[in-house]
Amino acid sequence: MNLVIVESPAKAKTINKFLGKNYTVKPSMGHLIDLPKSQLGVDPEDGFKVKYITIRGKGKVLAELRKLAAKAEAVYLATDPDREGEAIAWHLRNEFQLDEAAPCRVVFNEITKGAIKKAFTAPRKIDSNLVDAQQARRVLDRLVGYKISPILWEKVRRGLSAGRVQSAALNILCLRQEEIDNFTPREYWTIEGNFNIDATAVKAMLSRVDGEKPVLDNEAAATAMAERVKNTAFVLSKLTSRPRQKKPKPPFITSTLQQQAGSRLNYSPRRTMAIAQQLYEGISLGKRGTTGLITYMRTDSVRVSPEIQKAARDFLIARFSPRHVPETPPVYTSRKGAQEAHEAIRPTDVTLTPEEVQPFLTPEQFALYRLIWQRFVMSQMAPARYKQQTATISGQGLEFLASELTLIFPGFLAAGDPEEKKGVNLEGLQEGSPAHLEAVVPQQHFTQPPPAYSEAMLVKEMENKGIGRPSTYAPTIETLVNRGYVEKKNSVLIPTELGITVNDLLRQFFPDIVNLDFTAAMEDKLDAVGEGELDWVQVVESFYAKFKKDLEIAREEMAEVAIEDEVSDEICQHCGRNMIIKRGRFGKFLACPGYPECKNTKPLLTKINVPCPQCGGAIVQR
């Protein structure tokens, strides 16, 4: 018997069908070994020696796997193809006392019969560099969290936390909130002219006044300019036409998938990744059997294998035409530090169209699969081609501009939603034709502050700044919300008073932790550890030397800060006090302020204005 260990039961079930009766596939249920929760688990005074223990509640699973491994002819560790998966495999190899040189590690980016069979023909040794990178990340996160959090408990409120990535993300949100709070709107006006040129209605915007860009910062200036326009004779002085093209975007990586699923489907990063996990681990397609529909969803690489590109080209030529694919397969460039052993997020079989698999998917799964399939297919297609026409309407030092963008060849757009014609109709117009002004429309505007971050926007900013990696985006946002540092309001993330207070303290006493450049540089160092270019202990040592001094100063100089509890309208039925809103491990709840005399608590329920389909009563959200 050959033993294969993966993370989840769903993954085990799918792979077991591919490998046959000579293999037993068992799930580890995620990490089995980790640092203890009750203590630091890292000794900075002894070379950052790490103390690992079996995670509470996982002992039975580990014992069963150990027993099976002892009887197996061969053990294959087929956990996820990333740092976390490599670390799980490393811990299991040590627990099973397997030979360090043994090729026990099997990796694959998709769960299809062909990919699994191929992966098992080429097992390898565990990558110690990847393990070191994960261990360095885990140790740094533990040092930051377990050293700063007690100070916040003492100075601000119990239950608070700081984190290496979490605190940098909180700072991004607080910096944006400061921009919004400090923003002063500026008034400005634009002038629209409605012209009739050779019986064609043309709307144009004032673009030049005596050769300069118009500056209209109040109503009086706009009114005066409108009068000048009314008293001017205009002609169509110039009509230009030039080709333009629009290239498709690269296939999804984790961050761009979360962004698009957020903006197009209104999915949170956590929800997006949960649904993607289901599509990756395997879906039953009736007579086709069970197979993974997408590749591994935690990736920062836009690479696509040549075999898949050829399959996509063949599919697209058959579905559309040879013109719809470029002469050579497109090559997209990943960001610096991306793990190029991975591929982009793509369908495992491009011929499995969303419509074909829809009967086997939930509505959520279908929507996400369609998004992934469409993005990948479009990424392998030719650019869309346009004709852009621009009309210049002139008279006595005034210039108006009108433009039209006409789609000539759809290219990749043929695989997506059709685009409407943009701009005004300029077809058939001739230079030198009189432009009869029919109306002049002054319009008042005000400059707008930068928008608050949605979850999708925050993920994009974290990626742009190099904060975190694909596996950390979703849990980071969830932690910020659960800690009460930010609130979701109208689909955007707003720092709370507590979050702003904690961020201010971290800026003052732990500037490196919230400094975006420092955090990004640390991520680069951890990537270098994964490539075998840096020693993980030296990376941690260089960080801890200054961090230790910051801790000493914070313990001595950080003043206590009082954060008032939010009072609710709910009355305690035991003592009659207004209950207050508290936060626990699972979010907000109501507690009596009379504690410890009155220990009454209640769940915090929010009405969402949706009637219950069963009884018609108001549905509440916990």
Amino acid found at 20 = G
- Give the pLDDT of residue 342: 82
CA distances from 244 to 107, 249, 404 (A): 43, 16, 12
Question: Residue 621 — very low, low, confident or very high, per pLDDT cuts 50/70/90?
Answer: low
Three-state DSSP class for residue 598: coil
Q: What share of the chain is helix, strand, coil (3-state, %, to 5)?
A: 40, 25, 35
Q: Which CATH superfamily is domain 187-245+385-446 in?
A: Topoisomerase I, domain 3 (2.70.20.10)
What is the token pair recorded at 61?
């699973």
Q: Which of 76, 280, 296, 544 is catalytic?
A: 296
Is the entire prediction scored with pTM above 0.85?
A: yes
Contacts of 454 (CB under 8 A, 6+ apart): 262, 263, 491, 492, 493
pLDDT at 587: 62
Query: Is residue 22 pLDDT above 70, yes or no?
Result: yes
CB-count exposure of residue 71 (10 Å: 0-12, 13-18, 19+): exposed
Residue 492, SS3 per DSSP = strand
Return the pLDDT at 615: 66
Per-residue confidence (pLDDT) for residue 437, from 0 to 100: 98
Instruction: Name the segment(s) of the chain with CATH classification 1.10.290.10.
Output: 254-379
Say if strands 486-489 and 492-495 run parallel, antiparallel, or are unpaired.
Answer: antiparallel
Which CATH fold topology does 135-182+451-557 show? Topoisomerase I; domain 2 (1.10.460)
For the segment 356-383, the average pLDDT, to the nearest whole number, is 98
- Identify the band that residue 583 occupies on the pLDDT scale cut at 50, 70 and 90: low
> Does the pLDDT value for residue 425 go beyond 90?
no
- The C-alpha atoms of residue 247 and residue 381 are separated, in whole angstroms, by 9
pLDDT at 614: 60
CATH 2.70.20.10 residue window(s) in the chain: 187-245+385-446
Q: How many angstroms separate the first and last alpha carbons of the chain?
A: 48
Neighbours of 439 (CB within 10 A): 10
- Tens of pLDDT, residue by residue over 506-551, are 999 999 999 999 999 999 999 999 999 999 999 999 999 999 999 9
Closest alpha carbon to 44 in 540, 425, 392, 581? 540
Q: Please report which residue ranges of 303-388 form alpha helices under DSSP H.
A: 306-319, 354-357, 363-379
Q: Assess whether 188 carries a catalytic annotation.
A: no
Average pLDDT for 367-390: 97
Instruction: Locate CATH 1.10.460.10 in the chain.
Output: 135-182+451-557
CATH 3.40.50.140 residue ranges of the chain are 2-126
pLDDT reported for residue 47: 96
Does pLDDT of 337 surpass 90? no
- Please report the pLDDT score of residue 595 as a whole number: 83
Which top CATH class is 2-126?
Answer: alpha beta
Q: What is the predicted pLDDT for the residue at 586?
A: 57
**d(C-alpha 620, C-alpha 622), whole Å:** 7
| Residue at token pair 């002894």 | 46
Mean pLDDT for the chain? 93
Model confidence at 612: pLDDT above 70: no
229-274 confidence digits (pLDDT tens): 999 999 999 999 999 999 999 999 999 999 999 999 999 999 999 9
Q: What percent of the chain has pLDDT over 70?
A: 95
Mean pLDDT of 128-135: 97
Considering the domain delimited by 254-379, tell me its CATH architecture: Orthogonal Bundle (1.10)
